[in-house]
Amino acid sequence: MPIVKFIKENIDIEVEKGTILLEAIREAKLKIETPCNGMGSCGKCKVIARGRLSETSDRERKIIDENKSERLSCMAIILGEIEVELMENERILKTINKGFSIHVSVDSPVKIKKLPRINEDSSIPYVDYLGYELNSVGLYRKISILEKNNFEELWGVVFEDKLLDIKSHKNNILGIGIDIGTTGISYYLIDLFSGEIIDKLSSLNPQTQYGGDVLTRITYCMENPLGAIKLQELIVDEINNSIKILTGNSYNIDDIYHIIIAANTTMLHLLLGVDPTLLAKAPYRSIFLNPKDFKAKDISIEANDEAILSIIPSASSYVGGDIVSGIMASGFKNDEKAVFIDIGTNGEMAVLKDGMIIATSTAAGPALEGMNIECGCRAQKGAIETFDIDEEFNISYNTIGDDKPLGICGSGLIDIVGALVKRNILLKTGRWNKNLNSKLENRLVDKKFYITEDIYISQKDIRQIQLAKGAIATGVILMLEEIGLNIEEISKIYIAGAFGYHVNPSNMKIIGLIPKGFKGDISFLGNTSLEGTRLALINKGCFKETYNISENIEVLELSLRENFQDVFVSQLNF
């Protein structure tokens, strides 16, 4: 059988002749992103490959540099022995793991309580007069050990009326809040007694190896019977690794008693290892929307054996717990007329009028997160995150970490397109203006506008951004129609999500991501989904409020609107 040698990693594996190179990379347990799920369109799975491979296809030639021995791993077929160099090492994702939220008092459902002493003169089992429910062999064993030692004090960790732990001393009671995004995952480690954030962390969602959006991951599950289990293993391993980093040497994983997770409906199905394929077939029915609490160890998350895993409820198959969590955390319901947009791959959004909330989601795709863009990248060191062209046509930009530019992330894309439109370099239709200022004319080559010598934005990229921003603007317009408002009546638009505070609001208006006519304020809230998990951890009323929100949201199915296509087309121009 052919041998595949991974040079940098010093790994050799044998595969069947005819194996797709991407599958060999996965078999070697190496990470490579495939936002298009191996369709040969995004170019993100490029590798250096030498040896006996299938002929380069016309589709590949449009993306790769053959002189550098580049191949798309999703298109190249292994015919014999080959050597492979992965072009990217694992990268640190810069995302927003903080956000604005309302203030609440600390009233966590998890508390530490002093328990009655064991009555050694009574024949009644201690558990019968303890005052809390328990259903755990492990706790029976702990009590049997405590019975032998006659401790002066006994302390219990309780979740509402259930006993989670019993000890002879007070210990930390910790919680973990997690926002699972399609692209990134953000975490809080919380002291449930004080309500304080102990630490925070962000990481890349490892499921990006199997697709950049929910539909490509659902497709992977359709094509692979064990796909949901595979994607669950990836996410659970990532969560466990992150929990170990958060706790470090200062805290004990055994002191984690409550974990709350917010995510879109597809991500929640994959977290639980539940096949999500029904979400992509009419009538788009989910297996669950508001699962009851269960033990974290049921899905192999490492915490206390009795730790409770709670899921923020979703409103529908495509209006998930992430936006429900964000609506609760932001106090959005306290406004009179406002719009809430969680800008991400799924483009979830809501509109409020006098206490009534209508929500929807749009297939914005991953372009606004730097994917499906030829020189696009995640928000990582070296990513261009701000950009401007002044009145004298001088270009300026900043990169994350002030590193050498290596690509363009989402906020940078919006700035770039906004500046190009503002300076009439890019026409309203999305086509390039052929009459450029002399300072810039050498930057436009083969329908690509070069920012540096090797980083550019192409005509194809512009189309991807038009589709993404058009989808979001269409969702806003149709929600407003449904609730009986127009954009001029909206005084505030809240922007949540990984963009955080880095996007220039005027550029959002210039490119038409916000529908024309909006005169109000734009407020950037950061990661409100993660903030919602924090509030739900420290205040039981907040968790109950997420159920009230999810049950009372009216969900608008955009594809059923007769004017959907007309409105969408009208929003494609800048």
pLDDT tens readout for residues 29-60: 888 878 776 778 778 888 999 999 999 988 88
C-alpha 495/C-alpha 25 separation (Å) is 38
Pick the residue with more confidence: 45 or 99?
45
Q: Read off the tokens for 150.
A: 């006659």
The conformation of residue 433, written as its DSSP 8-state character, comes to P
Reduced DSSP (H G I as helix, E B as strand, rest coil) percent helix, strand, coil of the chain, to 5: 35, 25, 40
Q: Sort residue 195 into left (φ over 0), alpha (ψ -120 to 50) or beta.
A: left
Q: What pLDDT score was predicted for residue 204?
A: 86
Pick the residue with more confidence: 519 or 97?
519
Residue 97 has pLDDT above 70, yes or no: no
Confidence grade of residue 150 (pLDDT, cut at 50, 70, 90) = confident
Summarised one tens digit per residue, pLDDT across range 180-221 is 998 889 999 999 999 999 999 998 899 988 988 898 999 999
Q: What pLDDT score was predicted for residue 500?
A: 52
The conformation of residue 54, written as its DSSP 8-state character, comes to P
Q: Which residues of 249-260 are buried (b: 16+ CB within 10 A; e: fewer)?
A: eebebbbbbbbb
Summarised one tens digit per residue, pLDDT across range 239-271 is 999 999 999 999 999 999 999 999 999 999 999
Residue 525 has pLDDT above 80, yes or no: yes
The region of weakest confidence among 29-33, 103-107, 269-273, 543-547 is 29-33
Looking at every residue in the chain, the average pLDDT score rounds to: 92
Confidence grade of residue 90 (pLDDT, cut at 50, 70, 90) = very low
Summarised one tens digit per residue, pLDDT across range 382-412 is 999 999 999 999 999 999 999 999 999 989 9
Strand order through the sheet with 70-72: 11-14, 3-6, 78-86, 46-53, 70-72
Q: What pLDDT score was predicted for residue 546?
A: 97
List 342's β-bridge partners, or say none.
Answer: 348, 496
C-alpha 339/C-alpha 533 separation (Å) is 21
Residue 95 has pLDDT above 60, yes or no: no
Residue 297 has pLDDT above 70, yes or no: yes
